[in-house]
Amino acid sequence: MAIHNAVFPRELEDEAIYIIREVAAQFEKPVLLFSGGKDSITLVRLAYKAFYPGKIPFPLLHVDTGHNFEETIQFRDELVAELGLELIVRYVQDSIDQQKVTEETGKYASRNVLQTVTLLDAIEEFGFDACIGGARRDEEKARAKERIFSVRNDFGEWDAKKQRPELFDMLNGKINMGENVRVFPISNWTELDVWNYIREEQLAIPSIYYSHERETFERDGQILPYSPFMNMSEEESVSTRLVRFRTVGDMTCTAAVESTAVAIEDIIAEILSATVSERGARIDDKRSEAAMEKRKQAGYF
Amino acid sequence: MDVLKIATAGSVDDGKSTLIGRLLFETNSITTDKLEAIMASSKKKGLDYVDLSLLTDGLIAEREQGITIDVAHIYFSTPTRKFIIADTPGHFEYTRNMVTGASNANVSMILVDARNGVVEQTFRHFYISCLLRIPNVVVCVNKMDLVDYDQTKFEEIKAAFMAFAEKVRFPGQEISFIPVSSLYGENLVRQSAHMPWYEGVSLLSLLEAMPLEQHLSEEASRFPVQYVVRPKSEEFHDYRAYAGKVASGLLRKGERVVVLPSGQETTIAKIEKFGREIEAAQAKESISLLLEDDVDISRGDMIVPISQLPQQSRQLAATICWMDKKPLRVGGTYLLQHGVNTSRAKVSALSNLIDVATLGADSAVSELKLNEIADVQLKTAKEVFYDSFTENRANGAFILIDEGTNSTVGVGLIR
């Protein structure tokens, strides 16, 4: 792929803003799911523009696994303060303490799957009827199948075979009590579109997206960040590498890539020449061929 | 950079997935981890080749049955364009998903197996492309390698297709034919050496050069009000703007407009795009309008230039494609969503059930079943401000919602 793809198609922004405004108009209690990653940072920017000079008329919700990169949390708090947003945080640790979920054990233990329960509890607690998420269809094959307004039943489940037809740009947000809609305004963006947007809009992003020195170890051909939450085996050993992250998820399921990218242009150049996809660095997707579809069925976003 | 939206239809058998896989592969859009995952899955299924359909058939049920059930969206780009492929199912049972995928397309790409020629599915796909007024149709006659790259075969298929197409196509619709072999990449990205008789360009070149809908800005201007922005903050105390997406046409600062349904006239004082002021806004742009006068405007109202009034009625005549297991019946009441506006609607008459394969119409219709297409008359509770779909796609379509299930059960194209 060549460098000339480094232009952001502006009609994607118009489309996303239209979708976000539909959410504010059609739902009573929307919320924006915020992880601190580049996709949710993009969403916040779009929501800011959609209602400018008014305030974003819904809060952000962060489902905190407790296994976050410190830099992301710091970034999150700064962004919320700068834009005067309302932030709700719910903790996976609380779901564990309430014995609603059981912590996974073994080498691959992660809280990625557990956060679904915390999310569904938060939806119920606040009565959210629409959750705006930064999922993109180019990320993964089950996501490639999802509608922009994706209806979930009162258990938060996605039924792929019964999706509502979505015609032209008309979005039907009608739901029954207890159901909710997951909304994906950047469905039609690719990873490259997001980066080009961040570059053109000059958005700040957490430092871990840029090259930095970090204690890491190798597992299954991937570089994982070392942290006390990782269950390491005896053969695995920690060493310092120059790395960056392409996606920001739970520390236990996000692999790093070796990189010297210090500016956004470097990141874009790296993606253009990358031979591995973004979610190739997500251990949560590697559990099985249908890992994403199965998690979505259970209420994952 | 612009975006071209392509809708494809067909089953795994006509090599559609292989064709898409090839396009991705040749434009460097598949990464090695995705390719490795498909190779592993192909092996697990006992195949001795790499099944590229596994790339697009993203659901467990699809991979299990080897068919496409719902639309998958696939992205790739070249130096000139970003492409979005809506890969839609070809089976009759999933026509509603095909319509979903095709409704936003600029191009309809139809695959024909060179050995089998045009089949009923080909007609259905083309018919729906015409119904939705997709301006460009590309017919890929695939598997040319299996008919020895025979020109006669290609010409026969072209003639058979055109015999049907002439009866359904609309003026201005472009139809192109390309002989291809997805398996070997012939005429996809580069010109084939096996078919010197074919004088056209490769598929990718054709898609890169395809004109986008420039006419959108020449259509009558329609601005449906989506959301009222009222910050009520110190700094923007009296600020009031009407946010929305320009459905069609062009809006200019200083233009005299009328607000529907109130009929009040005013002038566009400012057009803002996220705080930045602009002189004019064209179709598909999300903007905010500020008006000279204080007028009563809420979501669902429409702002149009005083010289370009839309039709205005509580009676609608439309062609409907039904998308629900529970049939549509005369007397049934639904919620009609036209753009961002909604109104209750009652079906007052049903006629002309279309047989897509023969183009015959059955005039005596008592109900409209899943995936069927017919003409309806509707009576709405509120006045609807519309244009006919043939004149203005953006303001000429609506969906019907079942108020019991909240599901989208039909799509209507206003005549």
pLDDT digits (tens, 9 = 90+) for A226-282: 988 888 888 899 999 999 998 887 788 888 999 999 999 999 988 888 777 777 766
- Give yes or no for B8 touching A (CB within 8 A): no
Q: For position B11, what pLDDT does the model report?
A: 57
Q: Which of B29, B82, B229 sits opposite A9 (nearest CB)?
A: B82
pTM flag (> 0.90): yes
The token pair at B84 is: 């979005």
pLDDT, residue B348, reads 96
- The CA distance from B220 to B386, in Å, is 11
User: Given a cut of 50, is residue A1 above it in pLDDT?
Assistant: no
Alpha carbons within 13 A on the beta-carbon side of B271: 21
Q: Do B229 and A17 touch (CB under 8 A)?
A: no
How does pLDDT run across B365-409, given as a tens digit for each residue?
889 999 999 999 999 999 999 999 999 999 999 999 999 999 999
Question: Do A132 and A23 form a contact (C-beta atoms < 8 A)?
Answer: yes
Task: Provide the 3-class DSSP secondary structure of residue B145.
Answer: helix
pLDDT at position B10 is 65
Q: Which residue in B317, B328, B290, B327 sits closest to B376, CA to CA? A: B317
- Gap between the Cα atoms of A213 and A227, Å rounded: 14
CATH number of A3-195+289-297: 3.40.50.620
Distance CA B99, CA B88 (A): 8
Q: What is the pLDDT of residues A49-106, one digit of tens each?
A: 999 999 999 999 999 988 888 999 999 999 999 999 999 999 988 988 888 888 888 8
ipTM: 0.94
A174-224: per-residue pLDDT in tens? Answer: 999 889 999 999 999 999 999 999 999 999 999 999 999 999 999 988 899
- Output b/e per residue, B156-194; b: 16+ Cβ within 10 A: ebbeebeebbeeebeeebebebbbbbbbebbbbbeebee
Those of residues 205-264 in B touching chain A at CB distance below 8 A are: 226-227, 229-231, 233, 235-236, 239, 243-245
Chain A residues with beta carbon closer than 8 angstroms to that of B131: none
B178-231: per-residue pLDDT in tens? 999 988 889 999 899 999 999 999 999 999 999 887 667 789 999 999 999 999
The alpha carbon of residue A271 is apart from the nearest alpha carbon of chain B, in Å, by 11
Structural domains in chain B, sorted by start: 2-211 (3.40.50.300), 217-305 (2.40.30.10), 311-414 (2.40.30.10)
Helix, strand, coil percent values for chain A (each to nearest 5): 40, 15, 45
Say yes or no for a CB contact (<8 Å) between A165 and B408: yes
Q: What is the pLDDT of residues B13-44, one digit of tens each?
A: 777 878 888 888 788 787 777 777 877 887 88
What is the Cα–Cα distance from B326 to A156, expressed in whole angstroms? 25
Q: Where in chain A is the domain with CATH 3.40.50.620?
A: 3-195+289-297
pLDDT at A4: 47
